[in-house]
């Protein structure tokens, strides 16, 4: 039966043999620059739901990891017991499908507002504690095993990387400048180097009724301070209206910190969280500027990208309010 997924079928048969097939193919419209295909791998009577992810657009100055390094970071995390969709295989040149990979499909909900709808206090806290345990496990990984990430810009100096990215757009944003200046004057409190997820935020977690099922989107993984992940998780933009719950909209800080420390993640310095939260606001504002740049200057046009350019100001407001002490 012709279903326009012959390339995927061929890639599957190259790895699982000529008797393997694909079925129940769904291409969700998620937006963004990755093409996702969900399908069943049917092999010797057994069926397994998988997810294919292909990169369809890559700017030469993209701050995101190439697919091959994402795949390796996910594989390492998976082998070390971090809940992540099991990496199955990576596409190669012979597949003719560009950069990308196939992982296990993890069912559940990622959309923040749907997650928050009908979530009671116990379920909220359970998710926050799951996230703390997940991070503690990730940050306990021996970074000698993640040497393949040492050379990426975020591992060398994550703040300098975003400074350079921002400068490349040559746009005047006083709030972003003030954020950078604050970071420069305060400096990151010293901390040991860890494997960092890099985009650990509400929206990138697969959630089920029992709690957190998987951490998704490893395209910002790098070697850095574990506390970077905690600061990013607490950035106000990821609370999706649940502003009184700084930890991703799920919980207050104290129970999350206690769970992370009890799971062996190390002591959390609130000043360090604040530092990385300020950086997170600067970084998220720059992401929005980056999307506008793609729209205005790179021909990667669309209403969503245009809106993100203007939404930079919303993040700049949150950054200014946080620096002024009005927002925590």
Partner 1 sequence: MSQDRPSINDILLTVKTFLDDLGPKLDGEAKYHAQVSSYLLGICEREIRLSAGYDAAEQARLSAFLQEEGPLDDLTAKLCAGIRAGKFDDRWDATLELVLAQTIDKVRIVKPGHLDAMHRDPEPDRSRP
- Based on CB atoms, which residue is closest to partner 1, 71 or 279? 279
Nearer to partner 1, 31 or 270 (CB): 31
Nearer to partner 1, 81 or 241 (CB): 241
User: Closer to partner 1 at the Cβ: 111 or 156?
Assistant: 111
Q: CA–CA separation, 275 vs 156, rounded Å? A: 18
| Smallest distance from partner 1 to CB 240, Å | 13
Tell me how far, at minimum, the Cβ of 150 lies from partner 1, in Å.
Answer: 29
Nearer of residues 263 and 314 to partner 1, judged by Cβ: 314
CB of 101 to partner 1, least distance (A): 24
User: Which three-class secondary structure string do you get for the chain?
Assistant: CCCCCHHHHHHHHHHHCCCCEEEEEECCCCCCCEEEEEEEEEECCEEEEEEEEEECCCCCCCCCCCHHHHHHHHHHHHHCCCCCCCEEEECCHHHCCCCEEEEECCCCECCHHHHHCCCCHHHHHHHHHHHHHHHHHHHCCCHHHHHHHCCCHHHHHHHHHHHHHHHHHCCCCHHHHHHHHHHHHHCCCCCCEEEECCCCCCCCEEEECCEEEEECCCCCCEEEEHHHHHHHHCCHHHHCCCCCCCECCCECHHHHHHHHHHCCCCCCCHHHHHHHHHHHHHHHHHHHHHHHHHHHHCCCCCHHHHHHHHHHHHHHHHHHHHHCCCCC
Closer of 12 and 292 to partner 1 (Cβ): 292
Q: State the minimum distance, in angstroms, from the CB of residue 176 to partner 1.
A: 9
User: Chain centroid to CA 245: how far?
Assistant: 20
| Residue 186 C-beta: closest distance to partner 1, Å | 12
Q: Which two tokens stand for residue 76?
A: 């390492």
245 φ/ψ sector (left φ>0, alpha ψ -120 to 50, else beta) = beta
User: Smallest distance, Å, CB 326 to partner 1?
Assistant: 7
| CB nearer partner 1, residue 180 or residue 250 | 180
Tokens linked to 291: 């999307």
CA distance 26 to 38: 5
Closest distance to partner 1 from the beta carbon of 252 (Å): 20
Q: Which is nearer to partner 1, 107 or 303 (CB)?
A: 303
Give the residues lining the site for partner 1 (CB under 8 A).
29, 31, 172-175, 177-178, 180-181, 185, 302-304, 306-307, 310-311, 313-314, 316-317, 319-321, 323-324, 326-327
Shortest approach of partner 1 to residue 72 CB, angstroms?
A: 31
């Amino acid at each position: 039966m012709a279903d326009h997924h012959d390339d995927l079928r061929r890639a599957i048969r190259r790895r699982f043999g000529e008797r393997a097939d694909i079925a129940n193919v769904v291409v969700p419209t998620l937006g963004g620059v990755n093409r996702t295909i969900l399908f069943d791998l049917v092999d010797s009577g057994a069926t397994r739901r998988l997810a294919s992810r292909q990169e369809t657009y890559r700017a030469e100055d993209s701050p995101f990891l190439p697919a091959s390094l994402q795949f390796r970071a996910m594989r390492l995390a998976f082998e070390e017991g971090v809940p992540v969709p099991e990496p199955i295989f990576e596409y190669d040149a012979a597949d003719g499908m560009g950069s990308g990979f196939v992982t296990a499909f993890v069912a559940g909900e990622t959309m923040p507002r749907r997650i928050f709808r009908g979530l009671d206090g116990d379920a909220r806290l359970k998710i926050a504690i799951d996230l703390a345990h997940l991070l503690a496990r990730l940050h306990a990984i021996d970074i000698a095993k993640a040497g393949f990430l040492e050379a990426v810009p975020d591992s060398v100096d994550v703040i300098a990387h975003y400074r350079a990215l921002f400068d490349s757009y040559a746009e005047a944003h006083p709030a972003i400048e003030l954020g950078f200046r604050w970071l420069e004057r305060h400096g990151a409190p010293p901390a040991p180097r860890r494997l960092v997820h890099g985009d650990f935020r509400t929206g990138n977690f697969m959630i089920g009724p029992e709690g957190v099922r998987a951490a998704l989107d490893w395209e910002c993984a790098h070697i850095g301070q574990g506390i970077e992940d905690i600061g990013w998780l607490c950035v106000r933009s990821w609370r999706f209206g649940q502003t009184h719950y700084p930890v991703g909209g799920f919980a207050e800080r104290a129970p999350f910190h206690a769970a992370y420390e009890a799971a062996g993640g190390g002591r959390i310095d609130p000043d360090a969280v604040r530092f990385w939260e300020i950086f997170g606001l600067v970084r998220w504002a720059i992401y929005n500027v980056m999307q506008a740049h793609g729209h205005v200057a790179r021909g990667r046009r669309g209403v969503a990208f245009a809106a993100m350019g203007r939404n930079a100001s919303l993040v700049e407001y949150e950054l200014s309010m946080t620096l002024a002490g009005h927002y925590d």
